[in-house]
Amino acid sequence: MPKVDVRRRNHIIEHRKQGRPVLFGHGFGCDQLIWEPVISYMPATIAPITFDHVGCGRSDFSAYTLKKYSDLDGYVDDLIEVIEALNYGAIDFVGHSVGGMMAMLASIKRPDLFSKLIAIGPSPRYVNDCDYEGGFEREDILELLSMMERNHFEWAGYLAPIVMKNSHRPEFADELRKSFANSDPVISRKFAEAVFLSDNRDKLSQIPVPITLLYCDVDVIVPLEVIHFMALHIPQAKLVRLDAIGHYPHLSAPENVSQEILANL
C-alpha cells in the first residue's frame, strides 16, 4: 500500500519557519483560511501552522471516503498523522469548535503529540439529553441536515448570520456564508452529521493534557451550560471568557482571540 502524502492530503501550510510551532485546526463549514485574521496578530516568536480537514478547502478530495469519515474517528486519525508529519514532537494546538474536540480525542490516543490544547467553543454533544443541555433537540439537528440536503445555498444563507451574531457587522456573516456555500454539499452534509450527532461526553475524563476553553457568553451553537459541563469533567481544564459574541470569535474579534491564545500558551 503506497505511503500517504499527509502534507498534500491535508494541505499543510507552515506560515513561518522560525518560532514556537502552533497548529491551528478549523471547525465545521470552513477551512484553514478562517485563521488568517488571528495569524496576522501572531508575533514573530510564534510559527503558525494550518491545515484542511479532508473534504474541506484545498485538501485532497480524492482521499475522502464515506466509510472513513462517517464519524469523527477518521478526522481524529488524520490529525494524529498531520502532527506526526510535522515532526515537532509534542505540539501546541488551537482548535475551533469540533476542531478542538478532535484534538481532545486525539490526545487520548496519543498524549505524546500534544503539549497544550486551546479550544474555542468546543462541545462534546450538541443534542439535549435528560438533564444535559447541549443546545439542540434531535429534531432541530435533523431539520438542519434536511435543509442542507434540500438546498445547500439556502442553508448557508440561513445559518451564517445566526451563528456569527455581530449583526452590526454584516460582512462577517457574509464571509462565513461564502465559506459555507463553497463547501462540497455532499461532504459538508455528512460532516455535519458526524459533528452534530456525536456524543463524546464519556471521553472528557480521559483527556490527559492541559486544556484552555475559550468561550463567548452568547453562542447559539455552544451554550454556557456545555462549557461548564466540560470544565467540570476535563481533569486539567481552564475557562477563559472572550470579549466577543457568536460562534466564530476568531473571525469577528481576531485581536482579542489572538491575545488570549498567546496568554494561555
Instruction: Kindly report, residue by residue over 48-106, the tens digit of the pLDDT.
Output: 999 999 999 999 999 999 999 999 999 999 999 999 999 999 999 999 999 999 999 99
Rg (CA), the chain: 17
CATH-assigned architecture of domain 6-124+200-264: 3-Layer(aba) Sandwich (3.40)
Which residue do the cell numbers 486539567 mark?
236
Q: How many residues does the chain have?
A: 265
The mean per-residue pLDDT over the stretch 13-37 comes to 95
Instruction: Kindly report, residue by residue over 128-183, the tens digit of the pLDDT.
Output: 999 999 999 999 999 989 998 998 888 888 888 888 877 767 787 788 788 887 88
Residue 72 pLDDT: 97
The model's confidence at residue 35, banded by pLDDT at 50, 70 and 90, is: very high
Domain ranges of the chain: 6-124+200-264
User: ∠33-179-243 over CA atoms, to 5°?
Assistant: 70
Cell numbers found for residue 242 = 472572550
CB atoms near residue 117 (< 10 Å): 26
Phi and psi at 132, nearest 5°, equal -90, 125
Mean pLDDT, rounded, of the chain: 93
What is the spatial distance between Cα 146 and Cα 211, in angstroms, rounded to a whole number? 34
DSSP per-residue codes, 56-89: STTS-GGG--TTTTSSHHHHHHHHHHHHHHHT-S
SS3 92: strand
Q: Sort strands 13-14 and 114-120 into parallel, antiparallel or unpaired.
A: unpaired
Catalytic positions are 97, 219, 247
Buried b (16+ CB within 10 A) or exposed e, 195-225: bbebebbebbebbebbbbbbbbeebebbbbe
Q: Is the pLDDT of residue 1 over 60?
A: no
